[in-house]
């Protein structure tokens, strides 16, 4: 089941690459993504959210003790349909010119790697998927104005690729090494690695490396510069997918917290400080932009800060809020980016000072933009309202100053985005919109937008099912982390290999 | 049917029916089947009539119960371990008064707008937003907790912004909408912060527990004042109190019907309503009360002086509304809650009526002049008569310039804020280029740092008094 879910987009990507014809690209891609989407919905609907245990497990042996071990728990079960929904909306709602065969193949490749990360229960396999996630996008870096500029963007991508990947590899290698020293049959098995832990002396450097990878991929300031660049100059579909589906947050919850409980506990204030700064810095820069895409890039940086803030707070409300925030903000930002691409295809620009008065010509696009903008900003009735409410209460318990910073930042984000939307769609027509007729959303675009809008609004009005899915996972994560850090306080000479929970079966739930 | 069931159904209907009308309009619009003016008006006014009828039922049931306050639990929105967002409404005298007021005024304004906006391009949009506003306002006044009130509060703000920008083909309304939005969003931080602080320290944000919960009673003057002042910030944004009121005359760019509804009758009183709800807490918050008196006095004096120098009816009415709202805040600060409620209700009705009449005020004035042969009200200026001409000129000049509050806001708040953003943006670009150079390439041609945006030209008075 899960193997099929992961492999379908990969096969779709290969099928497209094998063709030389551009025709039917969208249909072929949809034919592969749609079953994957249906499977992910089925998994999310059938999963038992009250337990943190892994479900739908599939194991096939590979080489050197590495196994094709896939499984889902409440956390990944929520992210799987989100990734598929975003990919599907990108396929259906993007302008034809943005989706040539190579770009669609890259999108499907990135989707497959992301689904692989979300399902992997073997650290080596997870590492492979982690690296693979960025490779397809590298093939399709678009031509910018000059070769030098293209070269620069390619280098930025490579820094992001290797900077966000390489630091994780020693962590995986170390976990495998410890497993081999313990003569484990499957040294890279995730749950066995968590149960074994890592030697004390390795904890801090490895934790720092893991956090570097996560910060870079999550675009936490000051490791964020790639994200606005990616949205402005990078490959559209793959870039949008990478920005909106926050797999790095998943890695933080999946690897950094359970593998390094003590380092995580000790470093919590620093991580939260980075998250707060990122949220604030992103919001301030979003206000200063004149280009909608770049502004949205900084809002995405700010939202990454929110999600990390919640996850690092490690209390039930905040973690639930962070998980829901990454889903809600991802879907809303994806909707905005799809619409923005449509606007770019119609007008050739997304600069606020060149647009204006779009509402008179494209009322449906305007309404859709407003809906996604207010959804991204946490207005009542949207999923983000629920996630921000939970996040806020969670971080308030941690420190009132953090909560205040979160509130101020949400206000600045709202000012940045709504100001951009009002100036783009309302008022007198600008230099570009004065001369160019702007067509309203087409039928296919409307369908894609409705898909995303329905998810954001229904999820906002009835959020409980979305909160129930990861409930067991959150409980187990917090209990596991609490037990591990308590062990540190109780025993100054903490033995890394002593499992705080001696029953290996229970570790499946971590 | 039990009393509780009747109450729950009626309160639910009062809040939800206009939202359902909006949903119906939205679905029809999405299916390319947007109804014509007559059908749109019927759908919305029928929903508003149901809302009013439901409010009357609630009022009657409340009276039959002898006017005893009753929290009505409508279940929960969501929960996670240790936290629960409850959909609790509170039925008391204030809620009933506000429900009747909101549903009556919205129905009346809706009815008025059918003819007033006839053949207007945004007819459908106006009625769709009117439905959302009514539901949001009803949610705001029926909410039993600050958390739920916030949901209604935000939606009221959003519809307000969209209606200020109603005539979106002109630049003025868009600039005004941006200004309203910025003020609202900054001040809404106060509501969230206050509610969260209250929740954090007392583990409740229910209105019904503000007088009874030992945790609230023992909160102490410092935290009570902190919470109270946070709520005052939120109220200052929504009710255009000093120094946040610069958006109110700009908001007159919207159609008169929405100006009457939002800035004369209902939305502008939402801040006072919030303070009325928080009054049991504010009672123990000396600093917050002091701040409220100060803000109320300055707002009333400032607004009444500025009102006298306005040259158009809507701006004058807007400042007159600000004056009265300032007085209401003083009343709440002194604990005169019944007086403040009565003041709020009567003022909402009177000012809404005046605002609706504003477009025909010239016609009315001419008719009066014809009838009396001269201006029926001779000039009476007891303060001005005692001032020297030089002093009077200074005050007059200040009042005409609205005491330079807009300039202060534009120069020292908005521009400084944007300048910090541009500085950070410049730093960002420099650092990206430095990395590019160190890698031996040239930076991609990213957007150059934006020059500081000049302050948006003030829109002192609406371009067209619609």
Complete DSSP assignment for B69-95? -EEEEEEEEEEETTEEEEEEEEESHHH
Domain membership of residue A494 (yes or no) is no
Q: Which residue of B has its CA nearest to A422?
A: B174
Give pLDDT tens digits for A116-168. 999 999 999 999 999 999 888 888 877 665 666 677 777 777 888 788 889 99
Contacts (Cβ under 8 Å, ≥6 apart) of B139: B15, B148, B149, B151, B152, B155
Dihedral Cα A329, A332, A335, A336, nearest 10 deg: -90
Phi first, then psi: give them for residue B83, nearest 5 degrees.
Answer: -145, 140
Cβ contact B174–A427 (<8 Å) = yes
Task: Find, among A328, A257, A248, A344, the residue nearest to A293 by Cα.
Answer: A344
CA distance A292 to chain B (A): 11
Give pLDDT tens digits for B398-423. 999 989 888 888 888 888 888 999 99
Rounded Cα distance between A467 and A394, Å, is 15
Domain membership of residue A508 (yes or no) is no
Rounded Cα distance between A76 and A214, Å, is 17
Domain membership of residue A68 (yes or no) is yes
Are A77 and A429 a contacting pair, CB within 8 Å?
no
Rounded Cα distance between B79 and B64, Å, is 35
Predicted pLDDT of residue B459: 45
The average confidence (pLDDT) of chain A is 88
Predicted pLDDT of residue A502: 39
The pLDDT of A415-434, averaged and rounded, is 90
Task: Find, among B409, B189, B243, the residue nearest to A413 by Cα.
Answer: B189
Q: How far is CA A56 from CA A62, A72, A114, A183, B379, in A?
A: 19, 6, 18, 27, 84
Domain membership of residue A500 (yes or no) is no
Predicted pLDDT of residue B168: 87
Rounded Cα distance between B450 and B421, Å, is 10
Contacts (Cβ under 8 Å, ≥6 apart) of B263: B240, B248, B251, B252, B318, B321, B355
Residues in A touching B185 (Cβ below 8 Å): 411, 414-415, 418
Select from B444, B450, B452, B456 the residue whose CB has the most chain A CBs within 10 Å, as the one to mutate to test that interface.
B444
Predicted pLDDT of residue B20: 96
Domain membership of residue A275 (yes or no) is yes
Task: Find, among B219, B187, B214, the residue nearest to B200 by Cα.
Answer: B219
State CA A220 to chain mean position distance.
13
Residues in B touching A315 (Cβ below 8 Å): 82
Rounded Cα distance between A417 and A412, Å, is 9
Do the bridges between strand A55-61 and strand B70-80 make them parallel or antiparallel, or are there none, so unpaired? unpaired
Rounded Cα distance between A367 and A464, Å, is 27
Please tell me the total count of domains within chain A: 1
Residues in B touching A155 (Cβ below 8 Å): 436, 439, 441
Give pLDDT tens digits for B88-114. 999 999 999 999 999 999 999 999 999
Give pLDDT tens digits for B114-170. 999 999 989 999 999 999 999 999 999 999 999 999 999 999 999 999 999 999 888
Domain membership of residue A373 (yes or no) is yes
Are B94 and B338 a contacting pair, CB within 8 Å?
no
Both tokens of A352, joined, read 């606020």
H or E element that contains A16: helix A2-18
Residue A340: CA count within 13 A, CB half-sphere: 28
Kindly provide the b/e burial profile for residues B391-411, where b requires at least 16 CB atoms within 10 angstroms of the residue's own CB: eeeebbeebeebbebbeebbe
Select from A422, A430, A466, A475 the residue whose CB has the most chain B CBs within 10 Å, as the one to mutate to test that interface.
A422
Give pLDDT tens digits for A338-396. 999 999 999 988 898 888 889 989 999 999 999 999 999 989 999 999 999 999 989 98
Are B102 and B96 a contacting pair, CB within 8 Å?
no
Residue B79 has pLDDT above 80, yes or no: yes
Burial class (CB in 10 A: 0-12, 13-18, 19+), A148: middle
Rounded Cα distance between B227 and B419, Å, is 31
CA distance A39 to chain B (A): 27
Of A159, A281, A467, the CB nearest to B424: A281
Domain membership of residue A499 (yes or no) is no
Cβ contact A414–B185 (<8 Å) = yes
Q: What percent of chain A has pLDDT over 70?
A: 94
Residue A505 has pLDDT above 70, yes or no: no
Give pLDDT tens digits for A175-232. 999 999 998 989 999 999 999 888 888 889 999 999 999 999 999 989 998 899 888 8
Q: Which residue has the tokens 């994200």?
A: A227
Give pLDDT tens digits for B298-329. 999 999 999 989 888 899 999 999 999 999 99
Full residue range of the structural domain in which residue A127 is found: 2-484
Give the 3-state secondary structure of residue B284: coil
Are A338 and A448 a contacting pair, CB within 8 Å?
yes
Predicted pLDDT of residue B439: 65
Q: What percent of chain B has pLDDT over 70?
A: 92
CA distance B121 to chain A (A): 10
Q: How far is CA A330 from CA A247, B124, B227, in A?
A: 11, 32, 33
Domain membership of residue A498 (yes or no) is no
Residues in A touching B447 (Cβ below 8 Å): 232, 289-291, 294, 351
Q: Which residue of B has its CA nearest to A359?
A: B168
DSSP for B159-201?
A: HHHHHHT-STTSHHHHHHHHHHHHHHHHHHHHHHHHHHHHHHH
Phi first, then psi: give them for residue B318, nearest 5 degrees.
Answer: -60, -45
């Amino acid at each position: 089941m899960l193997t099929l879910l992961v492999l379908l987009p990969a096969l779709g990507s290969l099928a497209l690459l094998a063709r030389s014809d551009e025709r039917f690209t969208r249909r072929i891609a949809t034919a592969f993504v749609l079953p994957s989407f249906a499977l992910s919905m089925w998994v999310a609907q059938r999963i038992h959210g009250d337990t943190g245990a892994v479900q739908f497990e599939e194991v096939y042996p590979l080489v050197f003790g590495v196994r094709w071990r896939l499984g889902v728990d409440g956390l990944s079960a929520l992210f799987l349909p989100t990734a598929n929904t975003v990919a599907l909306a990108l396929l259906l709602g993007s302008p034809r010119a943005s989706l040539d065969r190579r770009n669609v193949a890259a999108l499907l490749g990135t989707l497959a790697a992301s689904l692989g990360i979300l399902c992997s229960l073997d650290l080596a396999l997870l590492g492979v998927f982690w690296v693979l996630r960025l490779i397809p996008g590298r093939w399709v870096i678009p031509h910018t104005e000059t070769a030098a500029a293209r070269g620069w963007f390619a280098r930025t991508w490579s820094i992001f690729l290797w900077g966000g990947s390489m630091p994780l590899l020693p962590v995986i290698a170390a976990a495998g090494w410890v497993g081999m020293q313990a003569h484990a049959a499957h040294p890279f098995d995730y749950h066995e690695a968590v149960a074994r832990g890592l030697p004390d002396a390795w904890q801090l450097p490895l934790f720092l490396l893991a956090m570097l990878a996560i910060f870079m991929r999550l675009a936490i300031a000051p490791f964020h510069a790639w994200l606005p660049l990616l949205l402005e100059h990078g490959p559209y579909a793959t870039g949008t997918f990478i920005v909106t589906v926050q797999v790095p947050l998943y890695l933080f919850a999946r690897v950094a917290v359970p593998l390094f409980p003590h380092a995580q506990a000790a470093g919590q204030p620093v991580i939260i400080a980075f998250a707060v700064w990122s949220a604030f810095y992103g919001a301030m820069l979003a206000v200063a932009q004149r280009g909608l895409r770049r502004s949205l890039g900084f809002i995405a940086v700010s939202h990454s800060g929110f999600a990390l803030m919640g996850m690092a707070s490690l209390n039930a409300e905040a973690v639930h809020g962070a998980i829901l925030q990454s889903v809600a903000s991802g879907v809303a930002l994806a909707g905005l980016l799809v619409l923005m691409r449509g606007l770019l295809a119609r007008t050739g620009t997304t600069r606020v000072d060149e647009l204006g008065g779009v509402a008179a010509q494209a009322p449906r696009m305007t309404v859709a933009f407003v809906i996604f903008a207010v959804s991204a900003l946490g207005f009542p009735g949207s999923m983000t309202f629920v996630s921000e409410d939970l996040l806020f209460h969670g971080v308030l318990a941690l420190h009132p100053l953090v909560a205040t910073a979160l509130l101020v930042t949400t206000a600045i984000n709202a000012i940045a985005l709504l100001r951009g939307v009002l100036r783009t769609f309302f008022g007198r027509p600008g230099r570009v919109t004065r001369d160019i007729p702007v067509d309203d959303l087409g039928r296919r675009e409307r369908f894609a937008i409705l898909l995303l809008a329905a998810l954001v609004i229904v999820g906002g009005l009835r959020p409980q099912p979305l909160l129930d899915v990861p409930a067991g996972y959150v409980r187990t994560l917090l209990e596991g982390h609490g037990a591990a850090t308590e062990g540190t306080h109780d025993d100054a000479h903490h033995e890394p290999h002593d499992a705080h929970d001696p029953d290996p079966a229970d570790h499946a739930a971590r | 049917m039990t009393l509780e069931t009747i109450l729950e159904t009626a309160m639910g209907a009062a809040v939800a029916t206009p939202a359902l009308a909006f949903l119906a309009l939205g679905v029809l619009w999405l299916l390319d089947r947007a109804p014509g003016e007559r059908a749109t008006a019927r759908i919305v006014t029928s929903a508003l009539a149901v809302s009013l009828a439901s409010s009357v039922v609630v009022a009657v049931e409340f009276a039959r119960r002898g006017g005893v306050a009753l929290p009505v639990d409508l279940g929960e929105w969501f929960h996670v371990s240790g936290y629960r967002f409850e959909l609790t409404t509170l039925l008391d005298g204030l809620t009933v008064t506000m429900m009747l007021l909101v549903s009556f005024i919205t129905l009346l304004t809706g009815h008025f707008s059918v003819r007033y906006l006839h053949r207007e391009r945004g007819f459908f949009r106006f009625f769709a937003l009117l439905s959302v506003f009514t539901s949001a306002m009803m949610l705001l006044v029926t909410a039993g907790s600050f958390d739920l009130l916030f949901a209604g509060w935000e939606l009221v703000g959003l519809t307000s912004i969209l209606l200020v920008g109603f005539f979106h083909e002109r630049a003025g309304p868009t600039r005004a909408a941006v200004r309203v939005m910025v003020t609202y969003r900054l001040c809404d931080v106060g509501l969230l912060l206050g509610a969260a602080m209250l929740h954090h320290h007392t583990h409740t944000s229910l209105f019904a527990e503000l007088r009874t919960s030992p945790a609230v009673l023992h909160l102490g003057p410092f935290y009570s004042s902190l919470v109270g002042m946070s709520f005052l910030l939120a109220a200052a944004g929504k009710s255009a109190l000093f120094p946040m009121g610069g958006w109110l005359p700009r908001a007159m760019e919207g159609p008169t019907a929405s100006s009457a509804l939002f800035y004369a009758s209902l939305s502008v009183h939402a801040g006072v309503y919030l303070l009325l709800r928080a009054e049991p807490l504010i009672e123990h918050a000396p600093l917050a009360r002091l701040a409220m008196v100060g803000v109320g006095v300055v707002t009333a004096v400032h607004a009444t002086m500025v009102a006298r120098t306005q040259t158009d009816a809507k701006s004058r009415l807007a400042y007159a509304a600000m004056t009265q709202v300032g007085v209401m805040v003083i009343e709440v600060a002194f604990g005169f809650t019944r007086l403040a409620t009565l003041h709020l209700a009567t003022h909402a009705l009177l000012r809404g009526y005046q605002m609706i009449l504003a477009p025909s005020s010239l016609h009315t004035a001419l008719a009066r002049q014809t009838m009396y042969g001269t201006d029926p009200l001779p000039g009476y200026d007891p303060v001005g008569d005692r001032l020297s001409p030089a002093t009077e000129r200074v005050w007059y000049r200040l009042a005409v310039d609205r005491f330079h509050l807009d300039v202060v806001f534009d120069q020292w708040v908005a521009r400084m804020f944007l300048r910090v953003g541009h500085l950070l943006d410049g730093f960002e670009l420099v650092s990206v280029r430095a990395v590019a150079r160190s890698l031996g390439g040239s930076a991609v041609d990213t957007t150059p740092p934006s020059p500081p945006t000049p302050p948006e030209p003030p829109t002192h008075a609406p371009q067209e008094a619609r």
